Amino acid sequence: MIREPYYITVGKLAELGKENIPDEFIPACHLIYSSPATISYNSPGAIGFGVKRAGLVMPESVMLLVSPGCCGRNSTILSSEEGYADRMFYLLMTETDVVTGRHLERIPAAVREIVETAEPRPKVVVICITCVDALLGTDLERVCRKCEEEAGVIVVPSYMYALEREGRKPPMTAIRQTLYSLLERKEIQPDMVNIMGFFTPMDQESELFSLLRSVGVKKINQVSEMETLEDYLEMGAANFNLMLDAESRFAADDLKNRLGMPYIEFPRLFNPEKIHNQYMLLGSALGVTFDDQKYYEEAQAARDRFVSKYKGLTFAIGEMINANPYEMGASLAEMGMKVKAVYANVTPDDYHFINRLAAASPETKVYTGISPSMIHYKDTGGVDVAIGKDAAGYCPSAKSIEWSSEKQPFGFRAFVDFIKELEDVLEGADKGQAAKHSLESSLKYMPGDPSERKGEYI
């Protein structure tokens, strides 16, 4: 009988390669254990930005969730907590519906009633179906066309298929494509760029904005900042897309193939030299030169200051953070820090960063929170700082930072802010103030009174 939690060293993981990811990291190969690292993983809609909340990033939209009662109950709680309850509607399936699929005949009437009663009147209805309809083989695109005919509104399909988490297009990849699916190619504006990758706006303090403007970019779009459908549709005029998260690659490819809109991958990094190099490569691709020297020097100074005081500090990193945990681990190791453990799932897209971490710290242990063997995990100490709520759960004796605000950090500014947050924790800054700031950031996305939740269609 297994008595130890499963882990693999990052060196061995890199050696195996992305074609041979161990079964322990693949949910379809075993039971899933609900540990701290699965807080945001077990269900595509479990917390933060799952399929439902992500789909509602589309402006002037509402969502109709077509599901059995269990999924509906889960969603009513989450929507109240996360501030989108007044935009959620529900069509609950009976046992007969599950067997026969007769609920599909009721969807057009439900959409029509939503459009007639919702205030303000939505311009888009996103229909979300679950694993039940995946097993039934529901043709949701056909259903959406029927709804558009009857309700006279744009209807968009989306899929909360937990069964496809390891498929070609997992739920969070699919919903990103859905978010951009209404765009049509407009006359190209050379000075317009779309930023893809996040469901909440990027930190406006990021130097990315000023650097883009310094080379003539006047309009920088993020879907999360579009207030009207008309504003959103203007994104179809962008010269190109900057793709900041690998899960957006499918959406970026779709825009490239469908609209002829090119994209450049520009991932979030936490190593000043690599951030600088990335800006130089972007400039080369665009035929311009980015003068990032002052931002680069600020990041180097922050790094050098931190290393001079804390070199050799031991870290543990979770996956509930505004970063790729392997990239962050690699960056810390390259700074001379020790990375004892990473608690995260593994995907092929992670391997560029896994290889970096393996080169800098091959003995780092990689745990998968979804393995049933994690029931035997015990904190053995030896970690100075845990990064992420999940890592903090595994390492309760360590100091910790969440690094998971709704405002998305990026570039040199993200690195400088990250170092500052580490310094505040290590130097005993008032954690109450940090918690208060985090709470205030979250409250603006929540409704005033959950009891006032409206918008249920049963």
pLDDT of residue 160: 84
Confidence of residue 372 (pLDDT cuts 50, 70, 90): confident
Whole-number pLDDT of residue 172: 83
Q: What is the pTM of this model?
A: 0.87
Mean pLDDT of 150-176: 80
What fold, for 189-286? Rossmann fold (3.40.50)
Q: What's the confidence (pLDDT) of residue 37?
A: 47
Q: What tokens appear for 270 in the block?
A: 């936490």
The CATH code belonging to domain 293-443 is 3.40.50.1980
Q: Which fold has domain 51-170?
A: Rossmann fold (3.40.50)
Give the per-residue pLDDT at 36: 54
Average pLDDT, the chain: 87
Does the pLDDT value for residue 427 go beyond 70?
Answer: yes
At residue 41, the pLDDT reads: 46
Candidates 304, 258, 263, 327; CA nearest to 416 is: 304
pLDDT at 413: 98
3-state secondary structure the chain: CCCCCCEEEHHHHHHHCHHHCCHHHCHHHCCCCCCHHHCCCCCCCCCCCCHHHHHCCCCCEEEEEEEEHHHHHHHHHHHHHHCCHHHEEEEEECHHHHHHCHHHHHHHHHHHHHHHHCCCCCCEEEEEEEHHHHHHCCCHHHHHHHHHHHHCCEEEEEEECHHHCCCCCCHHHHHHHHHCCCCCCCCCEEEEEEEECCCCCECCCCHHHHHHHHCCCCEEEEHHHCCCHHHHHHHHHEEEEEECCHHHHHHHHHHHHHHCCCEEECCCCCCHHHHHHHHHHHHHHHCCCCCCHHHHHHHHHHHHHHHHHHCCCEEEEECCCCCCHHHHHHHHHHCCCEEEEEECCCCHHHHHHHHHHHHHCCCCEEECCCCHHHHHCCCCCCCCEEECHHHHHHCCCCEEECCCCCCECCHHHHHHHHHHHHHHHHCCCCHHHHHHHHHHHHHCCCCCCHHHCCCCCC
42-93 residue pLDDT tens: 443 334 677 888 899 999 999 999 998 877 776 666 666 667 788 999 999 9
- pLDDT for 443 equals 36
Q: Where in the chain is the domain with CATH 3.40.50.1980?
A: 51-170, 189-286, 293-443
Q: What is residue 321's predicted lDDT score, i.e. its pLDDT?
A: 92
Q: Dump pLDDT digits (tens) for 10-43.
A: 999 999 999 999 999 887 787 777 665 455 544 4
